[in-house]
Structures are given as C-alpha cells and as structure tokens.
A and B are shown apart, each in its own frame.
Chain A
Amino acid sequence: MTSVEKVPQDKITIEGLTGDAAIAHALKQSDVDVLAAYPITPQTIIVEDFQKFAADGEVQTRVIPVESEHSAMSACIGASAVGARVATASASAGLALMWEILYCAASMRMPIVFTVANRALSAPINIHNDHSDGMGMRDSGFIQLYCQSSQEAYDTTIMAFKLAEDHGVLLPVMVGIDGFILSHNVERVEMLPDDAVQKFLGVRVPVQPLDPKNPITMGPLALTDYYFEFKEQQDEAIWNVPKIYKQVEAEFKKMTGRSYGMFEEYKTKDAEIIILAMSTMGGTAKAVADVLREKGEKVGVIRLKMFRPFPAKEIAKAVSGAKAVMIFEKAMSFGAVTSPLAMEVKSALYDLEKKPMVVDFVVGLGGRDVPPTTFVEGYEKTKKYVEKGKAPLYETLGVRK
C-alpha cells in the first residue's frame, strides 16, 4: 500500500454535484485508460460529462461510445485484459443486456469499475429507481457497493479501482446509486485534488495481461477438468474483499477523514427494532428513526453498502441484540422464499441461537415513492408481528392491490 497523507482543506474543491456528475469527476481523477459505454437513462450523464472532460483535454482516456451495452462490457474486458484501467456505466435494460459478459468479467478476474444508476427492469418499461437490475446481477461475481449520497458515490468510485485492482481481489466492482433520486439530485461534494487521487490509486499493475511478448490464451475451454477450480479461486477471491476493503477505506480515511464501512450503523446500540435498507432509503430511514426516537421508540438503522460479498457475520452480530430487523428493499425475487435482501439476512442469522425476527417489506418498485410514512407503516406492522411472534415471509407496501 502506498502511504497517503491528509489532504489539507484548502486543496479540496467543494461543488454541488448530482450523483452522476460526482461519479464522472471521480472517473476523471482516477485516470481511466478506457471507458466504453452506451447511453441509458439515468446513467447517461456520467458518460456525457466524461466526454466533455475528454473533449477539453482534461483526461487521456480513450472513450468508446459503442453500439450496445453488450459491446460495452465486452470492450471493457478486452481493454482490461491488456492491462488498462477500465470503467463503464449503465442501468436497467442496459445492465441486463450485459449479463452474459458480466460473468466473464468476474470469472476472468477483470478489475473493471462499473457504475450503475439503479433502475427498474422492463417490462413494462420504466425509467425510475429500484434495485431489480443490481439484484439481477448479484450472482455474477461482481463486488456490489450501494451508495447513499453524491459524496459517497464520488468516494466509492475512486476506492473501487483500488479494491478491484488489488492482487488479492482482481474482481470487477459495481458502484450503485439510486436512479434519479441520487443520479439527478445535487448535493455538496468535496473533491480531492487530482494528484492526491493519483497517489492513492497509483497505476494499475496487471498480473497476467495479454502481451504479444509473452503470449497467453484467455478464456479458453475448461470443461470437467478445470472449470470447477476456476470457480473455487473466484470464490476465494471475493471473500478476500472485506479485509482489503477495510485497508482501502482506512487509507482513504487518512486522506479525507471519511469512511463508510461495509454497512453504516445508526442508533442501533439499544435498538429493539433495526431498520435495514440500502442506498438512499438509508437516509429516509435515519430521519424516521430520529422522529420515532423522540417518541420513545427504540429504533435504529443499518444502511447496507456492501451487498456482495454479503457481510453475513458482521450483520448477524450487529442485529443480534434486537427483537426484529425490519427490511425495506426495492427488489422482488418472484417465486422465492422471500426477497433478495431478506434472504441474505435470514441466512446470516440462521446459526444464531437467539435471533431477531426478520420482517421484509418490498417497496418502491418502478420508482414508487417511499416516504417516511411508509417506513412508519412498516414499523407499526413490525411491532405487531413482534407481539404476535410471527411475520409473513415478505409483503409489499405502497402498492394498490
């Protein structure tokens, strides 16, 4: 690890930025060699802003606006294979069109940073936020980090390169922001000077690049003989992430004073009911917790940032003292026991002797608003379920039946 120093306040640029713009700035400073993407709302601005940096000569990046997302991720793998630092961005249908290649990116251990403005999947077509795109790729082998603010989106994008390119990891990272809610809302962002980011990230050191002087074949056939070993190694690699993520964050904190952890805990110490949510819903949840606390309710919030790898032990520990975990999540897994986030949490708690009740609410699909009142509705329901000692496996809130 390189040694970084605290960046003095007068070297910091403060600007009002949307989540998309914050990511574009982070990508610019991360000295990306190749960026390949295809436009899709609400991500489009990331690449447009980046193209303007390129046109102004502010970056040396080769930007290729390819003809589809399938091509974008494919081009990213090609560029990453020769040793470049690579990024792309997409959402929803675009992400879904990458699906085949997502698995290749992870299996071939390409440290690509993939920023996603999370948006609902078709059909019917919908441009607004939920997490069905991110959850759809949850088994692809990508690391998944979901952000709550523009500042966090900026910070996480920079850290994502260091995490991805670490030789103990070598895996692609998805950085998620809520479509429109974060991608298009302006917030105060503190930006580092270019040289600080460059020093923090350094230059990518590829382990086994495609190199004419030392020819290797990538992605050849591995059947019953070796395929399983590749998967075993990939599995090992993703479980190196928590440790290396902590190191990366520690170093980033030295420079900025900021860190986020795999999840954020808010007033959970004595909480009887812990609300667990991801991305911008974390912000609403915290505001709701404040109000309920004033009314004497013992409520806390966990805002999960790292969904892959899922910090099972840590989450189990963090909620073990509560009576119930109330999950708010923006995705469904049709026909599954429960919804994606609840499934993880329930599995994580399974081995606890005394476990909190898990109450799962699916909310906000297709951008349906999730106001504080919906949280309160869920909270009241959760209290009743705790009294009864029984809760449904999952239920929806805020929808016409």
Chain B
Amino acid sequence: MTESDSILRHPMSKYIREDRQPWIYCSGCSVGVVTQMVARAIDNLGLDFTKTVVVSGIGCTGRTSGYFKTGTYHTTHGRAIAFAEGVKIANPELEVIVVSGDGDLAAIGGNHLIHACRRNIDMTIVCVNNFNYGMTGGQFGPTTEHERYSQTSPRPVGNVEHPFNLVKLAASSGATFVARWTAVQARRATKSIETGIKKEGLSFIEIIGACPTEFGRMNRLGNGVEMHQHLLEVAEIQNGLPAHEAELHYDTRIVCGEFVNIEKPEYTVVLTEMNERLKKG
C-alpha cells in the first residue's frame, strides 16, 4: 500500500465491499451517513465482525446490507425484522443489526416491528426515516406528515393521512432501548447505536434523514446540505424524556435523545431457558 492509498482509504472501508462502489445513494442523501454510523459503532465496540449479521429490507436504505463485508441479508420488502428474528433465534451468538427505511419497517413490515418489540428479541434496528418511499420515487407512507406533498399526495391537497411517531410506537410496543437522532448528530447517533448493540433486548434507533431527491424536492425543502442544516436547527436534545413526549414536527421541532432504556427478559434467553427446563423435566 502506498502512502496516498492509505490516505485515500476511508477508515471504515474495512467493513465495506468496495467492489460494490459507487454507492447507489444520491448526493445529499442521509443513508450513506447512517451506513457510516453503523460501521463506526461496530468499530468502536470492537465487535467480532464475522459474528455480525446485517439485515435489511427493500428501499434505498435497504441497500445498506449489501455494502457490508460480512454475513448480510437483503430480504424482501417489509420482512427484514422477520428474517432477522429467524437468524437470531437459530444462532443467538450472532449480533444482529437491521438497517431499513421507514416504509419498509413501518408500512409493509409494520406488523413485524411491533411484534419484535413486544417479544423483546435481541437485535438493533436502525430505521432511516426520510418521510417517504425514496426508492420507488417518493410516495407518501406511514411517517409522512399531514398535508405533505408526495407522488401519491400531490398538490393542492397533499397527504390526508397522519403519521406514526416511530419512537412512541416502538416504546409502547415494548422495545427496551429507544432513541432518535437526526442524521447530522452523527456522534450521538453512533453512541446510541453502540448502546443498542450492547443492550440485550430490542433496540430501536430512528435516524431522521434527508431524501433531497424525492421528499425534499416535492416539498421544496432545499438540497441535501440545506436539509441537513435544517435538521440540525430543529433538533432538540431531551435525553431521558418519556417516549410519549418525543414529538416530531419536521418544520419546527424534532425531539432527539435516548428515551427508553429498561431491562426486560430477552426472547432468545427465555427460549433457551425454557428448553433447558423441559430437558430437565
């Protein structure tokens, strides 16, 4: 390796399939930022990368799994958590990280999300919430705010529906660690992903991201840099706030922080204990 090689190589590139470059992400998109957060969290924790599994669904965010140079699973749309549950239950030694979009995790896969939280199965779910289905061209979904414009909620009316607040949803469904950050709060978000990975139980980390190509364009929110600047401006850090107060209003106030960190029996441990008991009985 020449000196310039060592300078040009990104410190996280050891985790990334460089032969899959360039990234498919648009310039100014948050998904790349989140990919780096996950890589850094793995690095900071010194995880045995060969025992780390990255699972994602379908979408721009869903493409993340394919870039990691470890056991990864690019599932069908909506099924990331269900596949990940299978992985974790079959081999609880593996560290399972799910990275996927708001549409994948909360629309078509919403049922798996709430039930995985309820079971408290040990996995870390990183959800990039960009308020729309980016990959299919920017239709509204379950996180799109009321009256926002999208390909399926055009002007003049906009979206007639109201969004989920994913932090509240995950917390009330039983997740034991719940956090929200914006894509600009990279260090804090990475720390939360680390805490989530260390946590024995279901961790849900929402990263509010920018999709300048679709959601940003249709709602005239500026380019990628401007959208990220905005996220920084409206982010309000409130660590420890009860999850039900973690409000999210894109224009004015995005409450960020770690909201839930509680202890509950973890699902695969419970399963193993039950098996042991049955064996003895």
Give A contacts to B, CB under 8 Å: 38-41, 44, 47-48, 51-52, 55, 63, 65, 67-69, 93, 97, 122-123, 125
Contacts of A123 in B (CB 8 A): 76
- Name which residue of chain B comes closest to A121, CB basis: B76
Within 8 Å of chain A (Cβ to Cβ): is B155?
Answer: yes
- Name which residue of chain B comes closest to A70, CB basis: B108
Give B contacts to A, CB under 8 Å: 58, 74, 76-78, 107-108, 110, 133, 136-137, 139-142, 151-157
CB atoms of B136 and A55 under 8 A apart: no
CB atoms of A39 and B133 under 8 A apart: yes
Contacts of A47 in B (CB 8 A): 152
Contact of A48 among B137, B141, B155 (CB under 8 A): B137
> Chain B binding site: helix, strand, loop or mixed by DSSP?
loop
CB atoms of B74 and A125 under 8 A apart: yes
Closest approach, in angstroms, between the C-beta of A50 and any C-beta of chain B?
9
- Name which residue of chain A comes closest to B155, CB basis: A55
CB atoms of A51 and B76 under 8 A apart: no
CB atoms of A67 and B77 under 8 A apart: no
CB atoms of A122 and B152 under 8 A apart: no
Residues A51 and B58 in contact in the complex (CB < 8 Å), given A65-B139, A67-B110, A67-B142: no
6 tightest Cβ-Cβ pairs between the two chains A and B: A68-B108, A67-B107, A39-B136, A55-B154, A48-B151, A65-B152
Task: Give Cα A93–Cα B109 distance, bound, in whole angstroms.
Answer: 14
Chosen A-B contacts, 22 in total, with CB atoms closer than 8 Å, are A39-B136, A39-B137, A48-B137, A48-B139, A48-B152, A52-B154, A55-B153, A55-B155, A63-B152, A65-B139, A65-B152, A67-B107, A67-B108, A67-B141, A67-B142, A68-B78, A68-B108, A69-B108, A93-B76, A122-B76, A125-B58, A125-B76
CB atoms of B136 and A41 under 8 A apart: yes
CB atoms of A39 and B139 under 8 A apart: yes
Task: Give Cα A48–Cα B137 distance, bound, in whole angstroms.
Answer: 10
Closest approach, in angstroms, between the C-beta of A34 and any C-beta of chain B?
15
CB atoms of B152 and A51 under 8 A apart: yes
Contacts of B141 in A (CB 8 A): 67
CB atoms of B110 and A39 under 8 A apart: no
Closest approach, in angstroms, between the C-beta of A130 and any C-beta of chain B?
17
Task: Give Cα A41–Cα B151 distance, bound, in whole angstroms.
Answer: 13
Contacts of B133 in A (CB 8 A): 39
CB atoms of A44 and B142 under 8 A apart: no
Task: Give Cα A125–Cα B108 distance, bound, in whole angstroms.
Answer: 17
Contacts of A41 in B (CB 8 A): 136
- Name which residue of chain B comes closest to A68, CB basis: B108
Contact of B151 among A51, A68, A69 (CB under 8 A): A51
CB atoms of A39 and B108 under 8 A apart: no
Contacts of A122 in B (CB 8 A): 76
A39-B133, A93-B76, A93-B77 given; 9 more Cβ-contact pairs under 8 Å: A38-B107, A44-B137, A44-B139, A44-B151, A51-B151, A51-B153, A55-B154, A65-B152, A67-B110
